[in-house]
Chain A
Amino acid sequence: MTQIALTVGGVNIYWNAVLICLGIAACFCLTWALFTANGGQDNTLLLLLPLGMLFSVLIARTLHWDCHIEQYPSLFAALTDYSTGGFCMPGVLLGTSLAVLCVRALGFTGNAGRLFDCLAPGAALGIALIRLSNLFTSADRAKIVVTTPFLQHLPIAAPVTSGSGVEYRFATFFWQFLLMLLMSALLLRFFFKRRRAPMKADQPRDGNVALLFLNWYSALELVADSTRYDGSFLRINGFVSLGQIVAAFSLLGVLIVYTVRSRRAGSSRSFRIVHWVLFWLSIGVVGLFEYLVQRFGGMYLICYAVMSLACAAAAYINLRMYRSVCKAPTPRRARR
């Protein structure tokens, strides 16, 4: 597929840039709708957009420079010349979070948790479209080469053009697109159905949608980033990618938050211990099969299947911990 959408006065507009902007716009519109419907001000989001883009671009670019230093003459060139190179998604999430905190600090909103909640479904939608932009590049493909002719089409595989011709690789980006779309829908449903659910011991209701977004997205990235053939690795470690490291720590962070809240809500110690043990078991299984798939690449089917189940288990454990903080829903008969 041709990469350039149109040329305006010598400036090329690329298809993947169009999709990235579409993703940003979709995120903004959905966040706007949710935020203003819940009493938020327009100015908050109008300030959040440029701030979020500024911080995201700078942080994501710096991370990419650190992991792919060969692509840039210097850090300054990486931050000022955008004609080459790429970005790391963890930097985008970090930059957006920083922007929200800045907006809060400037007094444009009094409740950062609510803003994060409104941002979460939009972020999932935006990430879905940003992933789809890799349809027009050779990035975000899997290490697995698909040779069966009838499987060499989306959503199974996507072509990668090289000097030796075209080869078809598993379309990691497309599966991420589909799953993030689904996640966006789930988060929206959660936003409307559960955000106002009463919590035990006056635990905060705001922020739960965002935490669950982080939970599910981290579980997805822990597996998806392992499949990529162009992952970003820190210079101190060439086996586990930056995306996987951030995802694992994010899952852990969500568990810590909900463990603290669950303790304040009066959950039993044994309940928390059991869930922590299961969580570490899940992460351990993910680590073991990551090691196996790197050592025995031919076992990728079984390895990635087990890793997916283990990541789903870790996400479910976090969900259970969240539910332990919620008050039991009123039975329907009693409500009537």
Chain B
Amino acid sequence: MSENDLDQRLDDILKEFAENSSREPSPTALRPAAQPRPASGNTAAPETRPEPATPPTPRTRREEPTADAAAQPPEKREEPAPRRRARAEMRQSEREAGKKPVVNIASTLKAGLALVAAVSMLWALVNLHPDTTKTAAAGSGTRKTKFDMAERMNVFTANAASDALADLVYIPKVYTIPENDLVAPKPNPACFGETDDPAVIEALIERSAELLEGQEMIWNRDIVRFQGSTMRYYCDDTLLVVTWKELRDNSVLTMAEVKMADGSQLRRALAGNSYGSGVRMKATDMASAVNAVIAINGDFYDYRQLGITAYQRQLYRNNPALVDTAFFTAGGDMLFSHRGELMGEGEAQAFIERNDVVFAVAFGPILVEDGQAVQTLSYPVGEIVNQYSRAAIAQKDHLHYLLMTAGQEGNYIRRPTTNELAGYLAAWGVQRAYNLDGGQTATIAMQGTTVNRVDWDNERTMSDIIYFATAQPGEGENP
């Protein structure tokens, strides 16, 4: 405010107060005037002296009859300073305010909160995108793979030589499945079959002599099959699968014997195609989606947090204190670590790299190791001593596996304990065997249906399967 404005304002105030004070009586006029004496002749009233006029009260600084004091109730307002003093005080207040408008706390708070709200929304726009980066594991540049160009060239060369020299010498072709492929080659429908005649299976075994490489099959024609059950099979140049059911100690066991040509045919599929997706699917649906010839439930990894789990050479969980772990290598072998092993930092990862492990499952316990049945007295998962449906995977020989479930079927409701299961498997000559998740999860799937009888006749959704696929490319597919 300029000097002139200040003066003008002060003048206005004083004028206003002066006007107000002229309307109100002065304090001295407020005292009532002395009453005149009544006129009379006879009455000799004593003559009274007229009351002297009340002397005016001495004027003090505070009682100066200025317009301010006259207009205001005396108890509420002080008399204003003189004009010069008032001007000085107004200048002082202007200086203190810094010649700026007075800060409004409410609007500042509002502006601040609005800014925070806007920043929050911007942060949300950039960061809140759930479920968008669950990428499929295939094709990820960070995934290590041993299927490098040199190996691809070897395979191509061998197959090309086989074709070229087919009339002169027989060179077996080599088929492999790229490690990071989520879907295997489609199996030939004509290679599937079902029979109750052991002679058919024997013929298949004979035809697959080269694939078997002299290994003995667990299946034989003398097996006492479960009444009314049939045998299902698949047979091509790279894969032989035979399934059957047999009765053992009043328990119905469903068996699937698998002989594959290459380690890449033993694979794992996850529901949702990424680890930790949270998706759960039926085993038959997962098996169909990945072109599995035969599949068994996995460890249902997202249901519990124990053990070591790995997928496509990546270690995802390292909690080995309480359960045994089964590792599956690129060469198609099954290795074990016992509970309490690989506890040190980096040990599990080093084990995976050193042994060329592709995936690992965590359930257990280990049933057979080095051909010997392992007896387990207590175990944190799997209800090992109770009546409970079972699932197990066993390796008999190089690239030679056995899948097995034990469940209720028909009038047979007894199910073996894990120690009994270990005994059966060791008797069949398997070298290694591992217990998988059981109960309603225990499922062997083939051609979109279950081979075993699942509990309550209904599949349960689960997070993963282990499956075997053919490596032989279908028509129109590249080898």
Q: List the interface of chain A (C-beta within 8 A of B).
A: 3, 11-14, 16-18, 20-21, 24-25, 42-43, 46-47, 49-50, 53-54, 57, 67-71, 82-87, 134, 136-139, 143, 145, 162-165, 167, 229-233, 235, 238, 294-298
Q: Name B302's contact: one of A47, A57, A68, A298 (CB within 8 Å).
A: A68
With an 8 A cutoff between CB atoms, is B285 at the interface?
yes
With an 8 A cutoff between CB atoms, is B280 at the interface?
yes
Cα distance A18–B113 in the bound complex, in angstroms: 22
Cα distance A233–B303 in the bound complex, in angstroms: 8
Closest beta carbon of chain B to A299's beta carbon, Å: 9
Is the interface on chain B under 10, 10 to 19, 20 to 34, or 35 or more residues?
A: 35 or more
- Nearest 8 pairs of A and B residues by beta carbon: A163-B182, A70-B276, A46-B113, A86-B130, A14-B129, A71-B276, A164-B289, A137-B131
Cα distance A206–B49 in the bound complex, in angstroms: 81
Q: Name B117's contact: one of A17, A50, A167, A298 (CB within 8 Å).
A: A50
With an 8 A cutoff between CB atoms, is B120 at the interface?
yes
Cα distance A136–B276 in the bound complex, in angstroms: 19
Q: Known contacts A21-B121, A46-B114, A162-B289; can you find 20 more A-B pairs with CB under 8 A?
A: A3-B132, A17-B124, A17-B125, A17-B129, A18-B125, A20-B129, A24-B121, A49-B117, A84-B133, A137-B131, A145-B285, A162-B136, A163-B183, A163-B289, A167-B289, A229-B281, A235-B304, A294-B460, A295-B456, A298-B458
Can you name 9 A-B residue pairings with CB atoms under 8 Å?
A: A18-B125, A42-B110, A43-B106, A49-B120, A67-B278, A70-B276, A162-B289, A295-B458, A297-B458
Closest beta carbon of chain B to A272's beta carbon, Å: 39
Establish whether residues B130 and A87, one from each chain, have CB atoms under 8 Å apart when the complex forms: yes
Chain B residues, CB < 8 A from A86? 130-131, 278
Establish whether residues A57 and B128, one from each chain, have CB atoms under 8 Å apart when the complex forms: yes
Cα distance A43–B117 in the bound complex, in angstroms: 11
With an 8 A cutoff between CB atoms, is B275 at the interface?
yes
Cα distance A54–B306 in the bound complex, in angstroms: 32
Establish whether residues A164 and B129, one from each chain, have CB atoms under 8 Å apart when the complex forms: no
Render B153-181 as a binary contact track against A, CB cut-off 8 A, 1 for contact.
Answer: 00000000000000000000000000001
With an 8 A cutoff between CB atoms, is B342 at the interface?
no
Render B104-145 as a binary contact track against A, CB cut-off 8 A, 1 for contact.
Answer: 001001100110110111001111111111101010000000
Chain A residues, CB < 8 A from B302? 68, 70
Establish whether residues B277 and A46, one from each chain, have CB atoms under 8 Å apart when the complex forms: no
Chain B residues, CB < 8 A from A67? 278
**What residue in chain A is nearest B303 (Cβ atoms)?**
A238
Chain B residues, CB < 8 A from A296? 456-458
With an 8 A cutoff between CB atoms, is B14 at the interface?
no
Q: Name A85's contact: one of B130, B275, B458 (CB within 8 Å).
A: B130
Establish whether residues A164 and B183, one from each chain, have CB atoms under 8 Å apart when the complex forms: yes
With an 8 A cutoff between CB atoms, is B282 at the interface?
yes
Cα distance A137–B279 in the bound complex, in angstroms: 13
Chain B residues, CB < 8 A from A18? 125
Chain B residues, CB < 8 A from A21? 121, 124-125, 128
Establish whether residues A138 and B131, one from each chain, have CB atoms under 8 Å apart when the complex forms: yes
Closest beta carbon of chain A to B76's beta carbon, Å: 33
Q: List the interface of chain B (C-beta within 8 A of A).
A: 106, 109-110, 113-114, 116-117, 119-121, 124-134, 136, 138, 181-183, 271-273, 275-282, 285, 289-291, 301-305, 309, 316-317, 440, 456-461
Establish whether residues A163 and B136, one from each chain, have CB atoms under 8 Å apart when the complex forms: yes
Establish whether residues A25 and B273, one from each chain, have CB atoms under 8 Å apart when the complex forms: no
**What residue in chain A is nearest B304 (Cβ atoms)?**
A235
**What residue in chain A is nearest B277 (Cβ atoms)?**
A230
Establish whether residues B138 and A163, one from each chain, have CB atoms under 8 Å apart when the complex forms: yes
**What residue in chain B is nearest A145 (Cβ atoms)?**
B285
Cα distance A295–B132 in the bound complex, in angstroms: 31
Q: Name B278's contact: one of A12, A57, A145, A232 (CB within 8 Å).
A: A232
Establish whether residues B125 and A230, one from each chain, have CB atoms under 8 Å apart when the complex forms: no
Establish whether residues A16 and B129, one from each chain, have CB atoms under 8 Å apart when the complex forms: yes
Cα distance A50–B278 in the bound complex, in angstroms: 29
Chain A residues, CB < 8 A from B181? 163
When A17-B126, A17-B128, A295-B458 are in contact, do A229 and B279 touch as well, CB less than 8 Å?
Answer: yes
Establish whether residues B316 and A70, one from each chain, have CB atoms under 8 Å apart when the complex forms: yes
When A43-B110, A69-B305, A297-B282 are in contact, do A162 and B272 touch as well, CB less than 8 Å?
Answer: yes
Closest beta carbon of chain B to A107's beta carbon, Å: 12
Chain A residues, CB < 8 A from B134? 84, 138
Counting chain A CB atoms within 10 Å of each CB, the highest count among B138, B277, B282 belongs to B277
Closest beta carbon of chain B to A109's beta carbon, Å: 14
Establish whether residues B275 and A70, one from each chain, have CB atoms under 8 Å apart when the complex forms: yes
Q: Name B133's contact: one of A83, A145, A238, A294 (CB within 8 Å).
A: A83
**What residue in chain B is nearest A42 (Cβ atoms)?**
B110
Counting chain B CB atoms within 10 Å of each CB, the highest count among A54, A67, A229, A231 belongs to A229
Cα distance A163–B272 in the bound complex, in angstroms: 9
Cα distance A259–B284 in the bound complex, in angstroms: 48
**What residue in chain A is nearest B134 (Cβ atoms)?**
A84
Chain A residues, CB < 8 A from B110? 42-43, 46
Establish whether residues A25 and B121, one from each chain, have CB atoms under 8 Å apart when the complex forms: yes
When A14-B129, A20-B124, A297-B458 are in contact, do A164 and B182 touch as well, CB less than 8 Å?
Answer: yes
Establish whether residues A229 and B461, one from each chain, have CB atoms under 8 Å apart when the complex forms: yes
**What residue in chain A is nearest B139 (Cβ atoms)?**
A163
**What residue in chain B is nearest A233 (Cβ atoms)?**
B303
Q: Name B461's contact: one of A54, A68, A87, A143 (CB within 8 Å).
A: A143
Chain B residues, CB < 8 A from A16? 129-132
Establish whether residues A46 and B278, one from each chain, have CB atoms under 8 Å apart when the complex forms: no
**What residue in chain A is nearest B127 (Cβ atoms)?**
A82
